[in-house]
Structure 1
Amino acid sequence: MDLGKYIIRRLIQQIPILIGVSILLFTIFHFAPGNPLASLFSDPNMTPEQIQQLQEAYGFDRPAYEQYFDWLTNMLRGNFGRSIQLRQPVSVLIQERMWTTFQLAFGSLFLSLLIAIPIGVISATKQYSIFDYAGTIFALMGISIPSFFFALLMIRFFGIHLKWLPISGAQSPGIIYAFPYNIIDRARHMILPLAVLGLTGAGSLMRYTRSSMLEVIRQDYIRTARAKGLKEKVVIYKHALRNALIPVITLLGFSLPTLFSGAVIIEIMFVWPGMGRMQFNSVIQRDYPLLLGINMFLALLTLTGNLLADISYAFVDPRIRYD
């Protein structure tokens, strides 16, 4: 089976999974305590007739199964409903914030890979050396230190003490820069949140790379490659690394939605206008239509990450075929 047919088959298989996820999410939010329209009912001047009109406008006066099928039908058409608090279509809100979070998420992922894979490979090939111990300490710090505490340290040192970098927002307020200074300004605002996410994520990724490399370089075919007289760099980076990356790719497939949901605290601390901050506000305000749209988007990201991971396997391991 070629790649195109494999992707089409996987996409078809994801349809019932997404429907099952939508039923689960809708049920959870429907039975959650509190009324999502409670903040709108707080106006003492509202009459019972106006309250009833609001209930009818959002469909909360109908049975749960009717609400679900209406929401599912509209979702299949690209309509995720309307935010209760922001009074805008959910799809528009996600599109506005999605690319901002994409920049932060993929930037931090690239930084994590850039740091973790070389350190993990060198630590494995130089096991029990000073470099290995230093890498282990770095990984344990990245795993153990809470991201919010690390963010506070970065803000205090680079933003307040040294005043090198901005500590909030995605661009300087009240200033409109021309190209290319607008890109430079945005990049400066991105450095601190990207560094926090990238460095904390690199710790666990480095440990996965190191343990996978240690397992691979002890295999018989690696000893055979060395016995044939191949250079050590060829053995490590051409033969061993490709197989060692298979479990790392699996981890990366699951990290795609985690980067979006895990950036909530970082986006709040750095006032970053992304989906994580919007998701947090929607939980506080009980904006269930917006929460449903965001969580369905994250579910789609999870399935997409798994699909990309499965496709990537064949590039690092030629034994894998699409069948």
Structure 2
Amino acid sequence: MLRYSLSRLSQAVLVILVMSFLLFLLIGLMPGDPIDNMFEGNPSLTPELIDQMRSLYGLDQPVTVRYWNWLVAALHGDLGYSSLYFRPVLEVLVPSMLQTAKLMALTLLISVPLAMALGSLAARKPTKLVDSVIGMFSFAAISLPNFWVSLLLIILFSVKLGWLPASGTPISNDASFVTQARHLVLPVSVLVMFHVGPLIRYVRAAMIETLSADFVRTARAKGVSERAVIMRHALRNALIPMVTVLALSFGHLFSGALVIETIFGMLGMGKMIYDAVANIDFNLALVGLLLATIVVLISNLLADLAYALLDPRITL
């Protein structure tokens, strides 16, 4: 397993280098440049001064030279300067990463056990009332627009009842743990709802197939309790498709929760990347998108390692 992991990590390094160059090239093709964005609306600037600024920042050099200079600086820990926030990229990136990490961790900690429980319950009694109710909930979670559900929850729990704050981030930076948790209830609830829907369907389908397998019938014939059949025999084999779905969803949770972060006023990775691209902040957009690529690569590696742990018949 160690040899396989090192091989995959070396492949990931190559993919990151290729993706960083492609992202650098694509972002460089965007209309305008940071100098235009920085000094837009300043009539005192002359074309000669703007050209001098471009030369100072190296924007007049070929793209390969600019990429090499950026790569060398990034390897030394210098990720550049954000023209949108007027701060180093790392100072902008860390709070957004922490915000997104909290959302990801809470969403996964709630949605994965919930999907396993509801999917297994629906698979035990297919075509029954319980299966129909769980199926309707799963279908609604997949179909309903997340911005619409977010607004409904804000109107109900924040405006009408006043139980929870409408914002996902406290105004004060030194807010207590309980205050921060109350602000996270609504955005996490929306993310859990829309993340658990597909997982329930995958777990249900995999469990129905696994419960009809020969080894499950053998375990029941030996007198193993139904709880042990579900938990020790069937569920472990049914988790393999869900691991694949979880690996694919990591990138979406890390950089794609733009609507939720916008509605609840949270500066996470999705909102940060969108603002950086919209405001032509090259350095911040490049590092944010590259970080999302790294998260996807790591999640795929962890999924492959989990396959071997869940099913010994799978060899790396």
Tell me, yes or no, if the aligned pair for 1:25 and 1:292 is still in contact at 8 Å. Answer: yes
d(CA) in 2 for partners of 1:145, 1:280: 23
Equivalent position amino acid for 1:16 in 2 = L
Deviation at 1:121, TM superposition (A): 0.6
The corresponding residue for 2:209 is 215
The corresponding residue for 1:86 is 85
Deviation at 1:222, TM superposition (A): 1.6
The corresponding residue for 2:286 is 292
The corresponding residue for 2:29 is 31
2:81 corresponds to 1:104 = no
The corresponding residue for 2:72 is 73
Deviation at 1:176, TM superposition (A): 4.9
Deviation at 1:6, TM superposition (A): 3.1
d(CA) in 1 for partners of 2:64, 2:172: 48
Tell me, yes or no, if the aligned pair for 2:35 and 2:50 is still in contact at 8 Å. Answer: no
Deviations 1:146-194 (A, max 9, x none): 11111111111111111100011411x35855xxxx0000000000001
2:194 corresponds to 1:200 = yes
Equivalent position amino acid for 2:212 in 1 = R
Query: Secondary structure at 1:158's aligned position in 2?
Result: helix
The unaligned stretches of length 5 or more in structure 2 are none
The corresponding residue for 2:303 is 309
d(CA) in 1 for partners of 2:207, 2:315: 23
Deviation at 1:12, TM superposition (A): 1.4
d(CA) in 1 for partners of 2:277, 2:260: 16
Deviation at 1:224, TM superposition (A): 2.0
| CA pair 307-129 structure 1, distance change in 2 beyond 3 A | same
d(CA) in 2 for partners of 1:279, 1:225: 51
Tell me, yes or no, if the aligned pair for 2:168 and 2:186 is still in contact at 8 Å. Answer: no
Deviations 1:1-60 (A, max 9, x none): xx4333222211211111111122122112223334322232111123431232123321
Q: Name the TM-score, length of structure 2 as normaliser.
A: 0.94
Equivalent position amino acid for 2:215 in 1 = Y
d(CA) in 1 for partners of 2:306, 2:244: 9
Tell me, yes or no, if the aligned pair for 2:120 and 2:203 is still in contact at 8 Å. Answer: yes
Q: Name the TM-score, length of structure 1 as normaliser.
A: 0.92
- Higher alpha-carbon deviation: 242-251 or 32-41: 32-41
d(CA) in 1 for partners of 2:88, 2:172: 27
Which 4+ runs in 1 deviate beyond 6 A? none
| CA pair 235-176 structure 1, distance change in 2 beyond 3 A | closer
Deviation at 1:204, TM superposition (A): 0.7
d(CA) in 1 for partners of 2:4, 2:200: 31
d(CA) in 2 for partners of 1:216, 1:285: 51
Q: 1:6 aligns with which of 4, 7, 21?
A: 4
Sequence identity, in percent?
38
Query: Secondary structure at 1:78's aligned position in 2?
Result: coil
| CA pair 30-176 structure 1, distance change in 2 beyond 3 A | closer
The corresponding residue for 2:63 is 64
The corresponding residue for 1:273 is 267
What is the total number of aligned residue pairs between the two structures?
315
- Higher alpha-carbon deviation: 257-266 or 288-297: 257-266
The corresponding residue for 1:240 is 234
The corresponding residue for 2:39 is 41
2:177 corresponds to 1:183 = yes
Tell me, yes or no, if the aligned pair for 2:168 and 2:187 is still in contact at 8 Å. Answer: no
Deviations 1:268-301 (A, max 9, x none): 1101132222122112211121110000000000
2:147 corresponds to 1:153 = no
2:138 corresponds to 1:139 = yes
d(CA) in 1 for partners of 2:173, 2:11: 48
- Higher alpha-carbon deviation: 51-60 or 118-127: 51-60
Tell me, yes or no, if the aligned pair for 2:199 and 2:242 is still in contact at 8 Å. Answer: yes
RMSD between superposed Cα atoms in Å: 1.6
The corresponding residue for 1:127 is 126
Query: Secondary structure at 2:27's aligned position in 1?
Result: helix
Deviations 1:67-116 (A, max 9, x none): 11112222222322211221222222211221111001111122211321
Deviations 1:228-272 (A, max 9, x none): 222222112111110100010111112111102221111111011
